[in-house]
Amino acid sequence: MSDFEYANAPESKAIAKISQSYDLFIGGKFTKPKKGKSFNTINPATEEVLAKIAYADELDIDIAVSHAKLAYTKVWSKLPARERGKYLYRIARILQERAREFAVVETLDNGKPIRESRDTDIPLAAAHFFYHAGWADKLEYAGLGNKPKSLGVVGQIIPWNFPLLMLAWKIAPALATGNTVVLKPAETTPLTALLFAEVCQQAGLPDGVVNIVTGDGITGAALVNHPDINKIAFTGSTEVGKSIARSISATKKSATLELGGKAANIVFEDAAVDEAVEGIVNGIFFNQGHVCCAGSRLLLQENIMDEVLEKLKKRMSLIRVGDPMDKNTDLGAINSLEQLRRIKDLASTGDSEGANRWSPECKLPTKGYWFAPTIFTGVSQSHRIAREEIFGPVLSVLTFRTPAEAIEKANNTMYGLSAGIWSDKGSKILWAAKQLKAGVIWSNTFNKFDPASPFGGYKESGWGREGGRHGLAGYLTSDAKVSK
Ligand code: ADP
């Protein structure tokens, strides 16, 4: 099956004009970091250096926050709400106009297939700006209290798995609700955030409303700890989320935290098997499994296990792994060497703890960071690969006999971000959805995202929601509660 021939269909890089080096975006201008430090961002599919990126330290963060504060008090908080909306619409349209350029830069910097950055990341990012543009002058009618008020300056820290999309999830609601922003992209994927800075200039956004500071975890911690930050919005690992929660615990700062997950994708005996197999593949192999809501634990009803596994393996043999810039590629590069090591380490605990590993035959490129699509069968609940987030293309398969056992196993996790249910019976879907402790539940589909739909987790998967009316509430004063 792996011989299935496809002609190469590479996307051109010509549209992406990546500079040799990038400065910080503060107060509407690109400015050098005070200490002149920098780091490289690379293409994980080739290990080539793409650009030199400015490294922001505490002093740079202080300058960025003071610009955001000034922009808040002097300009943004005084602007009529519909004017804010106009800027958001403008940004959304520019993102659409420059979509191809953004998709190419995202794929080069992140390693994800161009098909996904082109068809998912960039269109959804634009959709988030369109959606929130519509809310800007309607907040009083959103059921969020009489006169909902913005918080002030928001510090936003995002991960590397959906760089531009996570930026949109953060910046669009913050601006729509009247806040100003200092955003730090992840150290391995800063390029689309810096391109977005150019979009802010192109849209004529007032200086200082959006500031982009690049750096690592130390830069992020400086942002979290800055006294003039009123709120932190973070997406990333549970470990860092907990450290942020500790840092702000004795302050008046509010926070939304979107953290890890270990979602159960439950396939009942009455499910449409072929569709479920597509959903399983999408659930764990979309974006190389670098997805916090990935369906990384497959729960199969025991009597259909053989049939599902046979079809799943056949389907996995058709997954094309390789050059992310090829439009036929399904599974691209792992985002960094560090992440590749994490995936390899956790997968090897699957072997040592007695689970059975299977991957289709596939040739991995010699340069860059790669991991073949993998499933483990014979997994029990105590195995590390059933409990810990791998954040890679690795699926752990467990079985169950009764619906009650499926729920018990699905909820037996410290996480609670998402879940999937595959069944022909509406009543069973509703019953299961009610029992599952997960913030997002998909039925007979997986990994569907919409700006109007709130996203967030239970337990160690985080605090608060992003998207929809619930997401707006996180950027407004605390008396703004979402009415049912
Ligand atoms: P991952 O483990 O998936 O790389 P992280 O949680 O480490 O996710 O990183 C997500 C984002 O959080 C990145 O932008 C990273 O630079 C930032 N970050 C890492 N450590 C800290 C910290 N201690 N405080 C604030 N931000 C941090």
Among the listed residues 106, 116, 269, 292, the single catalytic one is 292
pLDDT reported for residue 5: 77
- For 153, half-sphere exposure in the C-beta direction (CA atoms, 13 angstrom radius) is 28
For 175-211, how does the pLDDT look when each residue is reduced to its tens digit (9 = 90+)?
999 999 999 999 999 999 999 999 999 999 999 999 9
SS3 277: helix
Q: Of ligand 1's atoms, which has the minimum distance to the CA of residue 157?
A: 14
DSSP-derived 3-state class of residue 164: helix
| Nearest of 218, 215, 177 to residue 194 by alpha carbon | 215
**The two domains 21-259+461-477 and 264-451 share their CATH topology (first three levels equal):** no
Q: Report, as an integer, the average pLDDT of 234-253.
A: 96
What value does the mean pLDDT take over residues 42-52? 98
Q: What pLDDT does residue 147 have?
A: 86
Residue 219 backbone dihedrals phi, psi, to 5 degrees: -60, -45
Tell me which of 187, 258, 389, 466 is the catalytic residue: 258
% the chain with pLDDT above 90: 96
Report helix, strand or coil for 6.
coil
- Is the CB–ligand 1 distance for residue 233 below 6 Å? no
Share of the chain above pLDDT 70, in %: 98
Q: Which residues contact 282 (CB under 8 A, 6 or more apart)?
A: 446, 447
Q: Where are the beta strands (DSSP E) in 185-226?
A: 210-212
Structural fold of domain 21-259+461-477 = Aldehyde Dehydrogenase; Chain A, domain 1 (3.40.605)
Task: For ligand 1, say whether the CB of 157 is within 6 Å of any of its atoms.
Answer: yes
Look at residue 216 in the predicted model and tell me its pLDDT: 98
CB atoms within 10 A of CB 408: 13
Taking the CA of residue 186 as reference, the ligand 1 atom at the shortest distance is 14
* Residue 221 Cβ contacting ligand 1 at under 6 Å: yes
Give the torsion sign (CA, 294, 297, 299, 300).
positive
* Max CA separation in the chain (angstroms): 65
pLDDT of 481 > 80? The answer is no
What tens digit of pLDDT does each residue of 408-419 get? Answer: 999 999 999 999
In this predicted structure, the answer to whether residue 3 has a pLDDT above a threshold of 90 is no
pTM over 0.95: yes
Is the CB–ligand 1 distance for residue 237 below 6 Å? yes
Give the per-residue pLDDT at 41.
Answer: 98
| Top mutation candidate among 160, 167, 187, 240 for ligand 1, by most atoms within 8 Å of CB | 240
- How much is the mean pLDDT over the chain? 96
187 lines ligand 1 (CB under 6 A): yes
Domain ranges of the chain: 21-259+461-477, 264-451
Q: What is the pLDDT of residues 96-132, one digit of tens each?
A: 999 999 999 999 999 999 999 999 999 999 999 999 9
Quick check: CB of 167 below 6 Å from ligand 1? no
* Closest residue CA from atom 21 of ligand 1: 217
State the CB neighbour count (10 A cutoff) for residue 95. 25
Distances in Å between the Cα of 61 and the Cα atoms of 68, 216, 219, 274, 357 are 10, 12, 8, 51, 46
- Catalytic site includes residue 200: no
Return the ligand 1 atom nearest residue 338 CA: 4
204: left (phi over 0), alpha (psi -120 to 50) or beta: left
Predicted confidence at residue 146, as pLDDT, reads 83
What mean pLDDT comes out for the span 136-147? 92
Is the pLDDT assigned to residue 320 strictly greater than 60? yes
Rounded CA-CA distance 360/320 in Å is 10
258 is catalytic: yes
DSSP SS3 for 30: strand
Q: Whose CA is nearest to atom 26 of ligand 1?
A: 220
Say what the pLDDT of residue 478 is.
60
Q: Supply the residue whose CA is at minimum distance from atom 20 of ligand 1.
A: 217
Question: In testing the pocket of ligand 1, which one of 58, 109, 157, 369 has its CB within 8 Å of the most ligand atoms?
Answer: 157
CATH architecture of 264-451: 3-Layer(aba) Sandwich (3.40)
Q: How far, in Å, from the CA of 241 to the mean position of ligand 1?
A: 8
- pLDDT tier for residue 1 given thresholds of 50, 70 and 90: very low
Ligand 1 contact, 236 CB (< 6 A) = yes
